[in-house]
Amino acid sequence: MNWLKRLCSNGFVNRLLISAYAGKCIENSTKVLGLDFKNRVGLAAGFDKNALFLKELATLGFGHIEIGTVTPRPQEGNEKPRLFRLKEDRALINRMGFNNDGVEAVVERLQRWEGQKANHLGIMIGGNIGKNKSTPNEHAYLDYDICFRKLYDHVDYFVVNVSSPNTPGLRELQEKESLRKILTHLQDIRAEKGLRKPLLLKIAPDLSNEQIDDVIALAQEIKLDGLVAANTTINRQHLSDAGKLRSGTIGAGGLSGKPLRQRATEIVQRIHDKTNGQIPVIASGGVFTAADAEEKLNAGAALVQVWTGFIYEGPAIVKNICRGL
């Protein structure tokens, strides 16, 4: 990414890259969440946590970029090493722990980005927000409050992250009443604003079907704008024998990539079926190719996101998926 930043700093080279990548990714425009997306392929949260590479990622053709997870205060995250490849399974394991520069630094970068209109290329920016590790769960809603207010004028939509497995106790906030407290509080803040920004919730693939149904029921009850399915998993059962052996030496963390594909699609399908397609879903998990993206779209997703696929497939992933679709 740092090399790509250097290349994009040269105006002539940047125009060549835009022509080669972003210029091929405009055939699948769609309107979702009341927003106009130039294509259906976005970059999931956790890659550009700190809004450092917006221009470069736009050049590669992404229709949207979800920055974050952003927390109120900067935090270093978990001890390194904390990111591992399982090449035999086309997967990653991470236990990053919401390492980020804090919401103030991210807002400053977004403000600079807003002043560089020529670089935007029609890209949508999502803000994925979370709580600091040191914040007790009973006060978590206040961390989401801070990030929501500070980012409100600088992103196009929000995603509440209570489903990362790498912050102790965070997933407890997926319980129905805890979710209600956070989400309705943010909806109350939004009601004070002049411009309505879509608010979504990202869920874990490790929820039982009954827990997913509780989330769906709450989303319908409070008229949530959408869901993101799904975050990384702590499940290792779909790994190859070599992957299971290696994951045992790696230790804890969230698994992403090909082994998550089937479960993520099942969740998308369940949300679509239970709501008759009335709640928009952004699908994330195991998207490497146009066929993977089409599987998610056929299951009821409105948009797809890549992350691990970007690592393994390289900078042409968006172009290739858009062409295939």
pLDDT of the chain, 325 residues: tens digit per residue: 999 999 999 999 999 999 999 998 877 799 999 999 999 999 999 999 999 999 999 999 999 999 999 999 999 999 999 999 999 999 999 999 999 999 999 999 999 999 999 899 999 999 999 999 999 999 999 999 999 999 999 999 999 999 999 999 999 999 999 999 999 999 999 999 989 999 999 999 999 999 999 999 999 999 999 999 999 999 999 999 999 999 999 999 999 999 999 999 999 999 999 999 999 999 999 999 999 999 999 999 999 999 999 999 999 999 999 999 9
Looking at the chain, the number of H-run helices and the number of E-run strands are: 12, 13
Amino acid symbol at 107: V
Quick check: is 164 catalytic? yes
Backbone angles phi, psi at 119, to 5 degrees: -90, -10
CA–CA separation, 26 and 87 (whole Å): 31
Exposure string over 118-156, b if 16+ CB within 10 A, otherwise e: ebebebbbbbbbbbbbebeeeebbebbbbbbebbbebbb
Q: How many CB atoms lie within 10 A of CB 275?
A: 17
Hey, what are 163's tokens?
């489903």
Give the CA dihedral 178, 183, 188, 189, nearest 10 degrees.
110
The CATH classification number of 33-324 equals 3.20.20.70
Determine how β-strand 281-284 pairs with β-strand 30-32. Answer: unpaired
- Tokens representing 199? 């608010």
Phi, psi of 93 (to 5 degrees): -125, 130
Q: What is the C-alpha R_g of the chain?
A: 18
Catalytic choice (164, 247, 256, 284): 164
Query: What are the residue ranges spanned by the domains of the chain?
Result: 33-324
* Contacts (Cβ under 8 Å, ≥6 apart) of 146: 72, 103
